[in-house]
Amino acid sequence: MANASETRFACDAMLGSLARWLRAAGYDAFWLEGIDDWDLIRLAKREQRILISCDTGIFRIGIIRDGDITSLQLANGLSTEEQLERVLKHFKLPVRKARCMACGGELVEVPKEQMKDRIPPKSYHWAERFWECQQCGKPFWRGTHWERISTVLKGLEGE
C-alpha cells in the first residue's frame, strides 16, 4: 500500500458523499455521477487509485477480485461518516489538511481583501482567514459548515 501522501481513491457512482468527505479528510478522491463500472476500473488502474464501492458485482470482476487493483467493498446502508471511518481505519490513514470538497483541489490561504466580492458580506465581516481551491477557485472560510466537518474529522482521529 502506498503511503498516506500518495493514497488516492476512485469512488463508485453511489459514493459521492464519501468522496467529498475523503477530500475533507485530505485525500484525492475521484467521483463521477453515473460512471460505468469498467470506466471506474480503468481509471483506478491507470491512476493507481484505490477503488471503493458498495456494488457487489464489481468485486466479481477478475481484475478486482484477484487484487490487481487495490479495492475496498463497503456494506450497503452505512452512513457517510461510517463509510469514511471504515476507509480510514482499513487503510490506517490519518486525517490530513482538507482539500476542496467540490473537486479535490488543494486549498491555499489567500488575503482577506481578495475575497471581498466573492463571499457573502456578513461572512466577510466576521471571518479573518480565507482559502481558495487551486483547481476550481471555490472560496472557503471557517464558518459553521467548516466547524461541523472539523468536529466529525476530529472524532475519527481519536478512535
pLDDT band at 157 (very low <50, low <70, confident <90, very high): low
| pLDDT, mean over the chain | 88
On whether the CB atoms of residues 7 and 87 are closer than 8 A, the answer is no
Tell me the C-alpha distance between 104 and 27, whole Å: 8
What the block records as the C-alpha cell of 82 is 461510517
Strand order in the sheet with 130-133: 107-110, 130-133, 139-141
Tell me the C-alpha distance between 111 and 91, whole Å: 36
What does residue 139 show for φ and ψ, rounded to 5 degrees? -85, 150
Domain locations in the chain as residue ranges: 4-90, 107-157
pLDDT score of 45: 96
pTM of the model: 0.83
* Per-residue pLDDT tens over the stretch 43-53: 999 999 999 99
Closest alpha carbon to 21 in 88, 116, 114, 112: 88
CA 100 remoteness from chain centre: 8
Residue that is written with C-alpha cell 474529522 in the block: 153
What the block records as the C-alpha cell of 47 is 491512476
* Per-residue pLDDT tens over the stretch 61-105: 999 999 999 999 999 999 999 999 999 999 999 988 889 988 989
The CATH code that applies to domain 4-90 is 3.40.50
> What distances in angstroms separate CA 54 from CA 106, 114, 123, one per listed residue?
27, 42, 38
Residue 99: which residues within 8 A CB-CB, separation 6 or more?
23, 24, 26, 27, 28, 105, 106, 107
Tell me the C-alpha distance between 55 and 1, whole Å: 22
